Structure 1
Amino acid sequence: MNKKWILFIIPAIIFITPFLIVEISAYITENEPNHWSDPKHLRQKALEAGFKPNPKSFEELLKIVDNPKNPLTKEKIALGKKLFFDPILSKDNSINCAFCHILEEGGDDNRPTAIGYHNQANPFHLNSPTVLNAALQKFQFWDARVKTVEEQAAGPITAPFEMAMTKEEVVNRLEKKDTYKKLFKEVFGEDKITFDMVTNAIGAYERTLLTRGRFDRFLEGDLDALSKEEQKGLELFIDMGCKACHMGRSIGGLIIQKFPVKSYSNIYLQFGFKNGKYVFEKIVFDSNTSDSPFPFENIGNFLGKDKSLRFKVPMLRNIARTSPYFHNGVVKDLKEVIKIMAKYQRGINLNEEQTKQLKAFLQALNGELVRYKY
């Protein structure tokens, strides 16, 4: 063999081997060929993976989302709801919180990028995350810069390209309204309104915006709530390792993750699902990976937390209703999103059947807003 080839191959093997060991151990499953779990065992598998149903009652909700620093009360929730839908919080009284977070449309606005005061587009081409189930998250905003919905509520109100208000302007406006002065006095027991009271009230309302659907019923024991195809998609979701990031009751929003992960200097590892197992197939040299590890990455040039390409992992509840996808809203089709995530985050090459099954499961995460009685 030519010495030049030897000098090239040996370093390449040394470089690639650690990734092969990590990836193969991560993706080869213990499933028997062509075996799928029966619904009873799949439910147990899902529960063991950390998935939990959303609460049915207000009493159950309080155990999960109540904030000790901002206790939920009927009056505070009602005030927060009034503020959420009132354009008084925007510079020209033209938009409200519901302008970007349409509760009937999945909790977002289905636009590629958020539009605010005077029709300004978000300068980083960021789209609006859903407000539904947001209280279940540990992080808010795409760069995870705050942790609570109360903190998050302040962002859009004071952003110059969203509602374009200052904290002082908000308080002055509300102080001039006798109705609001009375309501704030009843809720907080203070004569003066503060900006923190405003965001606490909105946050209290947002903590009640949880949804429930067929996946919740499946987790609770209704084994017929998911179709066979949806169940297969759930099992793939768990076995492929998607649940490592999209976890918990919220199915996301709990950690910060690099995106994209697979950018090993133009190398990514392709795995296939064969005879019931994930098996390593080949190393793929992708000429586009180095310059553009994620297609459309440069749109908006938003680099995540600390400009490190780390983003809050989005929730997947109601994901089929919240297109377009990714932080910059550049992909409209859920099927395409699934393929991109499998390739760039998991290093897996999905076939059409697997993609269809995963899409079916994600669509089963749709839910309706729970009308809690409080």
Structure 2
Amino acid sequence: MKPILILILILVATSGKTSRLWAVPPPVGGQPAAKTHEPIKPIPFQTNLDSRKVALGRMLFQESKLSHDNTVSCASCHDLSQAGTDHRVHSFGIHQTEGTINAPTVFNSAGNFKQFWDGRAATLEEQIDGPIQAPGEMGSTWDEVIGKLRATPVYNAPFKAIYPNGIQRRNIKDAIAQFERSLITPNARFDKFLRGDDTALTTEEKEGYRKFKSYGCTSCHQGVNVGGNMFETLGAMADYFADRGGPTPADNGRFNVTGREDDRYVFKVPSLRNVARTAPYLHDGSAKTLEEAVTVMGRYQLGERLSPQDVDQIVKFLKTLTGEYEGKPL
């Protein structure tokens, strides 16, 4: 891909989409000079959030009473001990109902410009409506959820202390979203490199990053989240779905939201943060390993048959994007 085209795509993808949550602080005197001209930016160490809401949201995130039969919580599909995923091709909802699309990690989801693979939710708050009310996921209603939580004593005091009108739909969504905004993973080795520590990466990892840029991967995967800030057609350079076979409604991507033919097979570009910990890959979970995912992306998005060495070096770079959660390696 031509360098000028890559630059244009980066500018389009990042314009007007910066949030205060992801603002990177300026370097402190005495620190190594940060690499400010790179297409990827480091995750900030802190967020400005209400700790009471975060604590309440953490409880709700793990609360199975949000589901109709009290068996499924947000954490069921987004296990924080498993990098915010469940490592399944498709997650399972109530009555062991299998989903239709791969569940993305919840870590760093606040840095995505839209939520869900098809971008149908503009905010984290809006996203919460989806799984709670989806028949094959939590299968509940807001009236049912509110009734259950009001009947659970542990929730009444914290809700009342934070929200004057207590347990309400809007307040439940706000608390969960605030917790999700706290799920950032700073201090990856690559972030240390971006902040000026050249020893944070090996020679092979640096070469992998060089190839990641030279092949044009950063035209879609850039910014703080290394993606998550634009839509792209899966199969831009070759027909991915014809080669894979077995089409499903979920493969239609953003078309399912807009009904526009131009949006068929269009998906939100996923964040590559912690990607080494979030297998399987792609919206269909068809790539079992990171090496397979890189090979598939090279062929169908870049029109390149990547050599085994190129794949290996790019994967080595991608592994440096694994960060820390609450001060511990993810």
Same fold (TM over 0.5): yes
Kept in 2, the 8 Å contact 1:294–1:344? The answer is: no
Of residues 47, 50, 55, the one that matches 2:39 is 50
Name the CA shift for 1:111/1:85 in 2 (closer, same or farther; >3 Å). same
Q: What code does the residue aligned with 1:370 have?
A: E
Give secondary structure in 2 for the equivalent of 1:257. Answer: strand
- Indicate yes or no: 2:245 matched with 1:245: no
Give secondary structure in 1 for the equivalent of 2:267. Answer: strand
Tell me the equivalent position of 1:355: 311
Counterpart-to-counterpart distance in 2, 1:24 and 1:187: 50
- Indicate yes or no: 2:191 matched with 1:216: yes
Of residues 178, 181, 193, the one that matches 2:153 is 178
Name the CA shift for 1:112/1:296 in 2 (closer, same or farther; >3 Å). farther
Tell me the equivalent position of 2:292: 336
1:243-278 Cα distance to aligned partner (Å, 9 max, x none): 111111001111011111014xxxxxxxxxxxxxxx
Give secondary structure in 1 for the equivalent of 2:232. Answer: strand
Counterpart-to-counterpart distance in 2, 1:241 and 1:139: 23
Counterpart-to-counterpart distance in 2, 1:352 and 1:300: 33
Counterpart-to-counterpart distance in 1, 2:211 and 2:229: 21
Give secondary structure in 1 for the equivalent of 2:252. Answer: coil
Q: CA deviation at 1:26?
A: 5.6
1:159-218 Cα distance to aligned partner (Å, 9 max, x none): 111111101111111122233122111111224x21111111000001010112111111
Of residues 166, 176, 186, the one that matches 1:202 is 176
Name the CA shift for 1:77/1:25 in 2 (closer, same or farther; >3 Å). closer
Tell me the equivalent position of 1:295: 244
Name the CA shift for 1:296/1:322 in 2 (closer, same or farther; >3 Å). farther
Tell me the equivalent position of 2:90: 113
Name the CA shift for 1:301/1:208 in 2 (closer, same or farther; >3 Å). closer
Q: CA deviation at 1:363?
A: 1.1
Q: CA deviation at 1:220?
A: 1.1
Counterpart-to-counterpart distance in 1, 2:63 and 2:4: 53
Name the CA shift for 1:184/1:25 in 2 (closer, same or farther; >3 Å). closer
Q: Which contiguous aligned blocks of 4+ residues in structure 1 show a shift greater than 6 angstroms?
A: 22-25
Tell me the equivalent position of 1:365: 321
1:262-312 Cα distance to aligned partner (Å, 9 max, x none): 14xxxxxxxxxxxxxxxxxxxxxxxxx4x9445256256521012411101
Larger Rg: 1
1:60-139 equivalences in 2 (<5 Å): 61-62=47-48, 72-122=49-99, 125-139=100-114
1:184-333 equivalences in 2 (<5 Å): 184-191=159-166, 193-212=167-186, 213-263=188-238, 289=239, 292-296=241-245, 298=247, 301-307=250-256, 308-333=264-289
Kept in 2, the 8 Å contact 1:296–1:330? The answer is: no
Kept in 1, the 8 Å contact 2:66–2:140? The answer is: yes
Superposed CA RMSD in Å reads 2.2
Counterpart-to-counterpart distance in 1, 2:294 and 2:175: 37
Q: CA deviation at 1:240?
A: 1.4
Give secondary structure in 2 for the equivalent of 1:211. Answer: coil
Kept in 1, the 8 Å contact 2:53–2:179? The answer is: yes
Kept in 2, the 8 Å contact 1:139–1:145? The answer is: yes
Q: What code does the residue aligned with 2:110 have?
A: A
Q: What code does the residue aligned with 1:54 have?
A: I
1:136-151 equivalences in 2 (<5 Å): 136-151=111-126
- TM-score normalised by structure 1 residue count: 0.74
Q: CA deviation at 1:338?
A: 0.7
Kept in 1, the 8 Å contact 2:101–2:250? The answer is: no
Range 76-85 or range 299-308, more displaced:
299-308
Kept in 2, the 8 Å contact 1:49–1:243? The answer is: no
Tell me the equivalent position of 2:19: none
Q: What code does the residue aligned with 1:209 have?
A: L
Q: CA deviation at 1:50?
A: 3.0
- TM-score normalised by structure 2 residue count: 0.84
Q: Which runs of 5 or more structure 2 residues have no equivalent in the other structure? A: 7-33, 257-263
Name the CA shift for 1:294/1:103 in 2 (closer, same or farther; >3 Å). farther
Counterpart-to-counterpart distance in 1, 2:55 and 2:241: 47
Q: Which runs of 5 or more structure 1 residues have no equivalent in the other structure? A: 1-21, 28-42, 63-71, 264-288
Q: What code does the residue aligned with 2:209 have?
A: L
Counterpart-to-counterpart distance in 2, 1:186 and 1:296: 53
